[in-house]
Amino acid sequence: MPTRAEKFAGLSVAIVTPFRDGKLDSARLAEQIDFQVRAGTTCICPVGTTGESPTLTHDEHERVIAESIAAAAGRIRVMPGTGSNSTAEAVRLTKFAAKAGADAALVVGPYYNRPTQEGIYQHFKALAEAVDIPICVYNIPTRTGRNIEPETIIRLAELPSIAMLKEATGSMDQASQILAATDLTVLSGDDSMTLPLLAVGGRGVISVVGNVVPADMKALCDAFDAGDRATARALHAKLFGLCRDLLGLASNPIPIKAAMAMLGRDTGEIRLPLVPLEPPLAAKLRQVLTAYGLPVRG
């Protein structure tokens, strides 16, 4: 049965924000979007966790949204991150994204201030009433300090603009409860959990590893959709080690930016309080990339 936002099914990629000498590298951003277009990726998600949104200024955040939409030029969908722990700020950013031509907005649950479930509901309700574009609720309690409980998400699904869920709790029980009770398009927020989530009714992934191997992650989703479970399982096994280390060696996006630098696709620059991958971990990452068959430089 079709879900609410089927056009976002498949592979979306949470792209990095490229920096050079501490400033946004617009040329590299456009290159990375072209890379995703060539891979056949469904959607890019700039200025999320992977895009280091917490360390961007308001002007930079808006600039990345606008430049991503311009570079996409209608060739690929764009779902920028517009969340905040301030409802007013989230509304402002989401309105900006809608006006700039975004196809949807990826909105993380309010972080740090730990609102009640009613507060979370009212936060997303305000957003849903402020814009016409679809909203993807991003539930990642390890980052926000507060789980968006299934009952709250089911209640939010009554609002037409709430169309998707980026599920990053790691709980198949929670995902199953939501899938059984709503027609939301549920997307995996953990690369290594993509196949398990597809198996219970998820429709794709918002991927970090897709920054380097979008074709393989897309192939996994496509194989599952085609009913080729053996190929999907083989790709899951192939991708697992890469997914684990790109998200487990250090806080995202430290490892993915290091990997992209090793592959000649980014400077690897990150902003404080994030710091570069420590040399022993960088050596391990280099081994993982090489073992996967990726063309590591140097």
d(CA 120, CA 146): 9
Query: Among residues 138, 218, 257, 292, which one is catalytic?
Result: 138
Query: Among residues 121, 166, 257, 292, which one is catalytic?
Result: 166
The H or E element that residue 10 is part of is strand 10-13
| Residue 186 in tokens | 């549920």
Q: Known catalytic residue: 121?
A: no
d(CA 246, CA 267): 17
Q: Known catalytic residue: 138?
A: yes
Task: Give the other-Cβ count within 10 Å of 269's Cβ.
Answer: 18
Measured on CA atoms in the order 284, 286, 289, 291, is the torsion positive or negative? negative
Nearest CA among 178, 183, 187 for reference residue 217: 187
Q: Residue 242: phi, psi to the nearest 5?
A: -65, -45
The H or E element that residue 190 is part of is none
Residues taking part in catalysis: 138, 166
